[in-house]
Copies of this chain bind each other. A is one copy, B any other.
Amino acid sequence: MIERLWRGVAIISASEDGYRAGEVIRDKLRGMEIPVVHYRYRDARLDLIWSCYDAVVFVMALEGAARIVCRYARSKAEDPAVVVVDDGMNYVIPLLGGHWGANELARELAEALGSRAVITTAAELKGRLSVERIAEMLIARVLNPEAIVRVNSALLRDEVVCLDGVDADADFGGNIKLNSDDCRYIISLLDKPYGGDRVVVRLKPLKLSIGVGSRSSVDLGRVRKGIEMVLERLGVGRERVGVIASIRPEIAEIAREFNVGFRLVSREELNNFSNPCLTPPSETLTKLGLRGVAEVAALIAGGPSSRLVLRKVAVDGEVTIAVAAYDGG
Protein backbone atom coordinates (compact mmCIF):
# COMPACT_ATOMS: atom_id res chain seq x y z
CA MET A 1 0.00 0.00 0.00
CA ILE A 2 2.75 2.50 0.82
CA GLU A 3 4.02 2.32 -2.77
CA ARG A 4 0.62 3.83 -3.61
CA LEU A 5 1.45 7.05 -1.75
CA TRP A 6 2.05 8.66 -5.15
CA ARG A 7 1.28 12.16 -4.00
CA GLY A 8 3.71 11.71 -1.17
CA VAL A 9 3.94 12.19 2.56
CA ALA A 10 4.01 15.54 4.38
CA ILE A 11 5.82 15.47 7.72
CA ILE A 12 4.73 18.19 10.17
CA SER A 13 6.85 18.78 13.25
CA ALA A 14 6.09 21.23 16.05
CA SER A 15 9.06 21.47 18.44
CA GLU A 16 12.83 21.47 17.94
CA ASP A 17 13.03 17.87 19.17
CA GLY A 18 10.21 17.07 16.81
CA TYR A 19 12.03 18.73 13.93
CA ARG A 20 15.10 16.57 14.48
CA ALA A 21 12.91 13.47 14.64
CA GLY A 22 11.10 14.65 11.51
CA GLU A 23 14.41 14.83 9.63
CA VAL A 24 15.17 11.24 10.60
CA ILE A 25 11.70 10.17 9.47
CA ARG A 26 12.13 12.05 6.19
CA ASP A 27 15.34 10.19 5.45
CA LYS A 28 13.72 6.83 6.24
CA LEU A 29 10.77 7.54 3.94
CA ARG A 30 13.10 8.70 1.17
CA GLY A 31 14.93 5.43 1.60
CA MET A 32 11.61 3.71 0.82
CA GLU A 33 11.38 5.86 -2.33
CA ILE A 34 8.31 7.70 -1.07
CA PRO A 35 8.09 11.39 -2.07
CA VAL A 36 8.32 13.32 1.20
CA VAL A 37 8.39 16.93 2.37
CA HIS A 38 9.10 18.03 5.93
CA TYR A 39 7.36 21.20 7.14
CA ARG A 40 7.61 23.04 10.42
CA TYR A 41 4.11 23.38 11.82
CA ARG A 42 4.33 27.17 11.94
CA ASP A 43 5.11 27.29 8.19
CA ALA A 44 2.70 24.56 7.09
CA ARG A 45 -0.44 25.41 5.14
CA LEU A 46 -2.41 22.49 6.56
CA ASP A 47 -5.48 23.30 4.48
CA LEU A 48 -3.48 22.73 1.28
CA ILE A 49 -1.39 19.86 2.62
CA TRP A 50 -4.60 18.05 3.60
CA SER A 51 -5.70 17.73 -0.01
CA CYS A 52 -2.30 17.66 -1.75
CA TYR A 53 -0.61 14.69 -0.02
CA ASP A 54 -1.70 11.08 0.37
CA ALA A 55 -0.41 10.88 3.93
CA VAL A 56 0.53 13.25 6.75
CA VAL A 57 2.94 12.32 9.55
CA PHE A 58 2.64 14.57 12.61
CA VAL A 59 5.70 14.56 14.85
CA MET A 60 4.28 15.72 18.19
CA ALA A 61 2.16 14.50 21.10
CA LEU A 62 -1.02 12.72 20.04
CA GLU A 63 -3.25 15.39 21.59
CA GLY A 64 -1.69 18.16 19.51
CA ALA A 65 -2.06 16.12 16.34
CA ALA A 66 -5.67 15.23 17.20
CA ARG A 67 -6.61 18.87 17.78
CA ILE A 68 -5.09 19.84 14.42
CA VAL A 69 -6.72 16.90 12.66
CA CYS A 70 -10.11 17.92 14.06
CA ARG A 71 -9.84 21.21 12.17
CA TYR A 72 -9.34 19.51 8.79
CA ALA A 73 -10.89 16.02 8.95
CA ARG A 74 -13.90 15.62 6.69
CA SER A 75 -14.61 11.93 6.07
CA LYS A 76 -12.91 8.58 5.62
CA ALA A 77 -13.32 8.99 1.86
CA GLU A 78 -11.63 12.39 1.65
CA ASP A 79 -8.97 12.52 4.37
CA PRO A 80 -5.33 11.56 3.84
CA ALA A 81 -3.82 8.77 5.91
CA VAL A 82 -2.59 10.33 9.17
CA VAL A 83 0.15 8.90 11.35
CA VAL A 84 1.50 10.41 14.59
CA VAL A 85 5.06 9.93 15.88
CA ASP A 86 6.02 11.28 19.31
CA ASP A 87 9.11 13.50 19.56
CA GLY A 88 11.04 10.62 21.16
CA MET A 89 10.12 8.32 18.23
CA ASN A 90 8.89 5.68 20.66
CA TYR A 91 5.56 5.18 18.92
CA VAL A 92 4.19 5.36 15.40
CA ILE A 93 0.42 5.68 15.68
CA PRO A 94 -2.04 5.54 12.76
CA LEU A 95 -4.68 8.16 13.57
CA LEU A 96 -6.77 8.28 10.38
CA GLY A 97 -7.01 5.97 7.39
CA GLY A 98 -5.78 2.83 9.14
CA HIS A 99 -7.09 0.57 6.41
CA TRP A 100 -6.02 2.99 3.69
CA GLY A 101 -2.31 3.06 4.12
CA ALA A 102 -1.83 4.48 7.62
CA ASN A 103 -1.40 1.07 9.28
CA GLU A 104 1.07 -0.08 6.68
CA LEU A 105 2.95 3.22 6.68
CA ALA A 106 3.11 3.02 10.49
CA ARG A 107 4.39 -0.56 10.39
CA GLU A 108 7.11 0.19 7.84
CA LEU A 109 8.13 3.39 9.56
CA ALA A 110 8.23 1.76 13.00
CA GLU A 111 10.44 -0.99 11.63
CA ALA A 112 12.78 1.55 10.05
CA LEU A 113 12.93 3.63 13.26
CA GLY A 114 13.11 0.70 15.67
CA SER A 115 9.96 1.95 17.38
CA ARG A 116 6.52 0.45 17.94
CA ALA A 117 3.56 0.67 15.57
CA VAL A 118 0.39 1.15 17.62
CA ILE A 119 -2.24 -0.60 15.48
CA THR A 120 -5.73 -0.39 16.97
CA THR A 121 -7.96 -1.52 14.11
CA ALA A 122 -9.42 -5.01 14.06
CA ALA A 123 -7.19 -7.14 11.85
CA GLU A 124 -10.01 -8.71 9.84
CA LEU A 125 -11.43 -5.41 8.67
CA LYS A 126 -10.39 -4.15 5.29
CA GLY A 127 -10.75 -0.70 3.86
CA ARG A 128 -13.84 -0.53 1.69
CA LEU A 129 -13.39 0.41 -1.93
CA SER A 130 -15.44 3.23 -3.32
CA VAL A 131 -15.90 4.36 -6.91
CA GLU A 132 -13.82 7.43 -6.12
CA ARG A 133 -10.94 5.35 -4.82
CA ILE A 134 -11.04 2.96 -7.76
CA ALA A 135 -11.02 5.94 -10.13
CA GLU A 136 -8.02 7.34 -8.26
CA MET A 137 -6.15 4.04 -8.43
CA LEU A 138 -6.83 3.80 -12.18
CA ILE A 139 -6.07 7.53 -12.69
CA ALA A 140 -9.43 7.98 -14.34
CA ARG A 141 -12.30 10.45 -14.34
CA VAL A 142 -15.91 9.48 -13.59
CA LEU A 143 -18.05 10.43 -16.60
CA ASN A 144 -21.43 10.00 -14.90
CA PRO A 145 -21.05 11.03 -11.25
CA GLU A 146 -24.81 10.68 -10.68
CA ALA A 147 -24.37 6.87 -10.72
CA ILE A 148 -21.66 6.85 -8.02
CA VAL A 149 -23.99 6.72 -5.01
CA ARG A 150 -25.76 3.52 -6.08
CA VAL A 151 -22.54 1.66 -6.88
CA ASN A 152 -20.93 2.83 -3.65
CA SER A 153 -23.95 1.51 -1.73
CA ALA A 154 -23.49 -1.86 -3.43
CA LEU A 155 -19.79 -1.84 -2.43
CA LEU A 156 -20.78 -0.95 1.14
CA ARG A 157 -23.24 -3.86 1.21
CA ASP A 158 -20.40 -6.13 0.03
CA GLU A 159 -22.24 -7.00 -3.18
CA VAL A 160 -20.12 -8.23 -6.07
CA VAL A 161 -19.34 -5.35 -8.44
CA CYS A 162 -17.87 -5.84 -11.91
CA LEU A 163 -14.84 -3.81 -12.98
CA ASP A 164 -14.68 -4.03 -16.75
CA GLY A 165 -11.78 -3.08 -18.98
CA VAL A 166 -8.78 -3.30 -16.64
CA ASP A 167 -5.53 -5.26 -16.80
CA ALA A 168 -6.09 -8.93 -16.12
CA ASP A 169 -3.56 -8.97 -13.30
CA ALA A 170 -5.03 -6.04 -11.36
CA ASP A 171 -6.06 -6.78 -7.78
CA PHE A 172 -8.94 -4.91 -6.22
CA GLY A 173 -9.81 -7.47 -3.56
CA GLY A 174 -12.69 -9.74 -2.67
CA ASN A 175 -15.92 -8.55 -4.17
CA ILE A 176 -14.61 -6.92 -7.35
CA LYS A 177 -15.08 -9.14 -10.40
CA LEU A 178 -12.54 -8.22 -13.07
CA ASN A 179 -13.37 -7.84 -16.77
CA SER A 180 -16.87 -9.20 -16.59
CA ASP A 181 -20.31 -7.70 -17.16
CA ASP A 182 -22.12 -10.36 -15.16
CA CYS A 183 -23.08 -8.04 -12.26
CA ARG A 184 -25.97 -5.74 -11.44
CA TYR A 185 -23.41 -2.98 -10.66
CA ILE A 186 -20.60 -2.27 -13.09
CA ILE A 187 -17.66 0.11 -13.15
CA SER A 188 -16.44 0.25 -16.74
CA LEU A 189 -13.52 1.76 -18.57
CA LEU A 190 -14.94 0.58 -21.89
CA ASP A 191 -17.15 2.47 -24.29
CA LYS A 192 -19.62 -0.39 -24.78
CA PRO A 193 -23.33 -0.80 -24.01
CA TYR A 194 -24.54 -2.87 -21.01
CA GLY A 195 -28.13 -4.11 -21.27
CA GLY A 196 -30.84 -4.67 -18.68
CA ASP A 197 -31.32 -2.57 -15.58
CA ARG A 198 -27.67 -2.60 -14.69
CA VAL A 199 -26.15 0.40 -12.97
CA VAL A 200 -22.97 1.44 -14.75
CA VAL A 201 -20.38 3.98 -13.62
CA ARG A 202 -18.28 4.94 -16.62
CA LEU A 203 -14.62 5.83 -16.08
CA LYS A 204 -12.41 7.56 -18.59
CA PRO A 205 -8.67 6.94 -18.15
CA LEU A 206 -6.80 10.23 -17.95
CA LYS A 207 -3.73 10.97 -20.01
CA LEU A 208 -0.41 11.47 -18.27
CA SER A 209 1.93 14.39 -18.59
CA ILE A 210 5.46 13.55 -17.53
CA GLY A 211 7.71 16.32 -16.30
CA VAL A 212 11.46 15.75 -16.28
CA GLY A 213 14.11 17.72 -14.43
CA SER A 214 17.77 16.97 -14.87
CA ARG A 215 21.24 18.45 -14.58
CA SER A 216 22.64 20.22 -17.60
CA SER A 217 24.39 17.08 -18.80
CA VAL A 218 21.36 14.93 -19.50
CA ASP A 219 21.83 11.17 -19.40
CA LEU A 220 19.00 10.00 -21.64
CA GLY A 221 19.37 6.42 -20.39
CA ARG A 222 18.58 7.54 -16.87
CA VAL A 223 15.58 9.55 -18.04
CA ARG A 224 14.23 6.56 -19.98
CA LYS A 225 14.74 4.25 -17.00
CA GLY A 226 13.10 6.79 -14.70
CA ILE A 227 9.99 7.13 -16.83
CA GLU A 228 9.61 3.36 -17.10
CA MET A 229 9.99 3.02 -13.34
CA VAL A 230 7.38 5.67 -12.76
CA LEU A 231 4.84 4.08 -15.13
CA GLU A 232 5.32 0.74 -13.40
CA ARG A 233 4.74 2.39 -10.07
CA LEU A 234 1.52 3.95 -11.33
CA GLY A 235 0.48 0.60 -12.78
CA VAL A 236 -0.12 1.99 -16.28
CA GLY A 237 1.26 1.27 -19.75
CA ARG A 238 3.20 3.54 -22.13
CA GLU A 239 0.02 4.25 -24.10
CA ARG A 240 -1.25 6.39 -21.22
CA VAL A 241 1.53 8.93 -21.69
CA GLY A 242 0.25 11.96 -23.58
CA VAL A 243 3.14 14.37 -23.35
CA ILE A 244 6.64 14.72 -21.93
CA ALA A 245 7.88 18.11 -20.77
CA SER A 246 11.21 19.53 -19.73
CA ILE A 247 13.36 22.62 -19.61
CA ARG A 248 16.04 20.59 -21.48
CA PRO A 249 15.58 20.30 -25.25
CA GLU A 250 17.53 17.02 -25.27
CA ILE A 251 14.52 15.27 -23.68
CA ALA A 252 12.63 15.64 -26.97
CA GLU A 253 14.49 12.51 -28.06
CA ILE A 254 12.75 10.49 -25.31
CA ALA A 255 9.35 11.88 -26.36
CA ARG A 256 10.03 10.66 -29.90
CA GLU A 257 10.82 7.19 -28.56
CA PHE A 258 7.51 7.20 -26.66
CA ASN A 259 5.82 8.54 -29.76
CA VAL A 260 4.25 11.44 -27.86
CA GLY A 261 4.49 15.22 -28.00
CA PHE A 262 7.33 17.09 -26.33
CA ARG A 263 6.74 20.35 -24.52
CA LEU A 264 9.80 22.52 -23.95
CA VAL A 265 9.17 24.84 -21.00
CA SER A 266 11.15 27.99 -20.37
CA ARG A 267 12.64 29.17 -17.10
CA GLU A 268 10.14 32.07 -17.13
CA GLU A 269 7.19 29.72 -17.55
CA LEU A 270 8.45 27.59 -14.65
CA ASN A 271 8.79 30.58 -12.38
CA ASN A 272 5.47 32.18 -13.28
CA PHE A 273 3.47 29.02 -12.69
CA SER A 274 1.75 28.34 -9.41
CA ASN A 275 -0.18 25.40 -8.00
CA PRO A 276 -1.05 24.78 -4.33
CA CYS A 277 0.28 21.21 -4.36
CA LEU A 278 3.82 21.90 -5.59
CA THR A 279 6.67 20.53 -3.53
CA PRO A 280 8.50 23.49 -1.94
CA PRO A 281 11.78 24.12 -3.82
CA SER A 282 14.97 22.57 -2.42
CA GLU A 283 17.88 24.80 -1.46
CA THR A 284 19.66 23.78 -4.65
CA LEU A 285 16.72 24.85 -6.80
CA THR A 286 16.34 28.12 -4.89
CA LYS A 287 20.03 28.88 -5.49
CA LEU A 288 19.46 28.28 -9.19
CA GLY A 289 16.58 30.78 -9.05
CA LEU A 290 14.00 28.10 -9.77
CA ARG A 291 10.78 27.39 -7.86
CA GLY A 292 10.28 23.93 -9.30
CA VAL A 293 11.02 21.89 -12.38
CA ALA A 294 9.57 18.40 -12.85
CA GLU A 295 6.18 19.02 -11.22
CA VAL A 296 5.74 22.42 -12.82
CA ALA A 297 6.72 21.14 -16.28
CA ALA A 298 4.24 18.25 -15.95
CA LEU A 299 1.42 20.58 -14.90
CA ILE A 300 2.18 23.16 -17.61
CA ALA A 301 2.23 20.53 -20.34
CA GLY A 302 -0.91 18.85 -18.93
CA GLY A 303 -2.84 22.09 -19.26
CA PRO A 304 -5.24 23.86 -16.96
CA SER A 305 -7.29 20.72 -16.12
CA SER A 306 -4.26 18.75 -14.99
CA ARG A 307 -3.49 17.76 -11.41
CA LEU A 308 -0.43 16.24 -9.81
CA VAL A 309 -0.69 12.46 -9.44
CA LEU A 310 2.93 11.59 -8.70
CA ARG A 311 4.99 13.99 -6.62
CA LYS A 312 8.54 14.31 -7.96
CA VAL A 313 10.82 11.35 -7.39
CA ALA A 314 14.58 11.30 -7.92
CA VAL A 315 16.22 8.73 -10.19
CA ASP A 316 19.84 7.97 -9.33
CA GLY A 317 20.03 11.42 -7.72
CA GLU A 318 20.34 13.11 -11.12
CA VAL A 319 16.94 13.08 -12.76
CA THR A 320 13.62 14.08 -11.19
CA ILE A 321 10.32 12.94 -12.61
CA ALA A 322 6.77 14.04 -11.73
CA VAL A 323 3.47 13.09 -13.29
CA ALA A 324 0.28 15.06 -13.82
CA ALA A 325 -3.01 13.69 -15.17
CA TYR A 326 -5.30 15.49 -17.60
CA ASP A 327 -8.35 14.80 -19.65
CA GLY A 328 -7.13 13.77 -23.10
CA GLY A 329 -10.41 14.83 -24.75
Q: Which residues of A contact B (CB under 8 A)?
A: 15, 17, 60-63, 66-67, 69-70, 73, 76, 84, 86-88, 90-91, 93-98, 118-122
Contacts and interface: CB of A to CB of B under 8 A. Distances in A.
Contact of A93 (B62, B73, B88, B98): B62
Q: Which of A66, A69, A76, A94: most chain B CB closer than 10 A?
A: A66
A63 B94 contact: yes
A94 B67 CA distance: 13
B98 A63 contact: yes
A50 to B, nearest CB: 14
Given A63-B96, A66-B95, 12 more contacts: A17-B122, A60-B120, A61-B98, A63-B94, A63-B120, A66-B73, A67-B96, A69-B70, A86-B120, A91-B118, A91-B120, A93-B93
B17 A94 contact: no
B61 A122 contact: yes
Contacts of A121: 61, 63, 86
A15 B122 CA distance: 11
A80 to B, nearest CB: 13
A120 B70 contact: no
Contacts of A87: 122
Contacts of A95: 62-63, 66
A93 B118 contact: yes
A121 B73 CA distance: 22
Contacts of A60: 120
A66 B63 contact: no
Contacts of A63: 76, 94-98, 120-121
Given A66-B69, A69-B66, A73-B67, A61 B120 contact: yes
Nearest to A122: B87
A70 to B, nearest CB: 4
Contacts of A17: 122
Contacts of A61: 98, 120-122
A159 B144 CA distance: 63
Given A94-B63, A96-B63, A84 B120 contact: yes
Nearest to A97: B63
Given A61-B98, A98-B61, A93 B120 contact: yes
Nearest to A60: B120
Contacts of A90: 120
Q: Which of A15, A91, A97: most chain B CB closer than 10 A?
A: A91
Contacts of A122: 15, 17, 61, 87-88
A58 to B, nearest CB: 10
Nearest to A125: B61
11 contacts: A17-B122, A61-B98, A61-B120, A62-B94, A62-B120, A67-B96, A70-B70, A84-B120, A90-B120, A91-B118, A118-B118
